[in-house]
């Protein structure tokens, strides 16, 4: 029998964990980061020396991202093409 370990994510999670928790795709996260989210609130650039570059790894506050998702307007029904 296999052992199952259940983990509770911390406040700040990596992009891969954020994708697993929310179902957001990488491009959606990138666009939200550049157009909607505020650095230091929904996400943080992180580096070992404390001076991150623009391409440094980001960590995300998944609870605030969920609130952002909840606040999005409902999708507009689209006409389906034949």
Q: Do residues 16 and 58 touch, judged by C-beta distance below 8 A?
A: no
pLDDT of 5-14, one tens digit each? 887 888 999 9
DSSP assignment of 3-64, as one string?
A: --------SEE-HHHHHHHH---HHHHHHHHHHT--BTTTEEE--TTS---TTS-EEEEHHH
**pLDDT score of 1 more than 80:** no
Topology of domain 12-70 in CATH is Multidrug-efflux Transporter Regulator; Chain: A; Domain 2 (1.10.1660)
For residue 82, the model assigns a pLDDT of 63
Indicate the domain borders of the chain. Answer: 12-70
pLDDT in tens, 25-69: 999 999 999 999 999 999 999 999 988 888 889 999 999 999 999
């Amino acid at each position: 029998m296999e052992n199952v370990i259940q983990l509770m994510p911390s406040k700040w999670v990596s992009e891969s964990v954020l994708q697993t928790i929310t179902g957001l795709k990488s491009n959606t996260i990138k666009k939200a980061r550049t157009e909607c989210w505020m650095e230091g609130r929904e996400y943080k650039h992180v580096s070992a020396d404390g001076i991150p570059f623009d391409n440094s790894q980001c960590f995300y506050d998944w609870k605030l991202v969920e609130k952002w998702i909840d606040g999005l307007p409902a999708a507009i029904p689209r006409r389906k093409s034949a």
